[in-house]
Amino acid sequence: MGFEAEFVRPASYAPLVAALAADPRVDVVVGSLHHVLGVPIDFDRGMYEAALAKAAAAAGAEGDAADDEDGSAEAHLWLAYYAAQHAMLVALRPKVVGHFDLIRLLSADPARDPRAWPRVWAAVQRNLALVRDAGGWLECNSSALRKGLAEPYPARAVAAEWLRLGGCFTLSDDAHAADQVGTHYAPALDYLEGLGVRELWTLEHVDDGGKAEEQGRKAELREVAMPLSEVRASLKAKGVE
- Residues 147-190 pLDDT 10s: 999 999 999 999 999 999 999 999 999 999 999 999 999 999 99
Helix (H, G, I), strand (E, B) or coil at 182: coil
Kindly report the average pLDDT of the chain as a whole number: 93
Per-residue pLDDT of 13-51, as tens digits, reads 999 999 999 999 999 999 999 999 999 999 999 999 999
Which domains are delineated in the chain?
A: 2-237 (3.20.20.140)
State the pairing for strand pair 28-31/2-5: parallel
The predicted pLDDT at position 10 comes to 86
The confidence score (pLDDT) of residue 241 equals: 66
% of residues, the chain, pLDDT over 90: 89
- Give residue 75's identity as a one-letter amino acid code: A
Structure confidence by residue, pLDDT tens digits, 65-90? 554 444 488 999 999 999 999 999 99
Q: What is the pLDDT of residue 59?
A: 87
d(CA 185, CA 143): 9
pTM for this predicted structure: 0.94
Render pLDDT for 112-127 as a digit per residue (tens, 0 to 9). 999 999 999 999 999 9
**pLDDT for the residue 158:** 98
Between the CA of residue 40 and those of 50, 53, 160, 178, 180, what are the distances in Å?
Answer: 9, 13, 27, 24, 22
What is the per-residue pLDDT for 70? Answer: 46
What are the angstrom distances between the C-alpha of 149 and each of 97, 155, 198, 201? Answer: 19, 10, 23, 24
Is 164:154 a contact under the CB 8 Å cutoff?
no
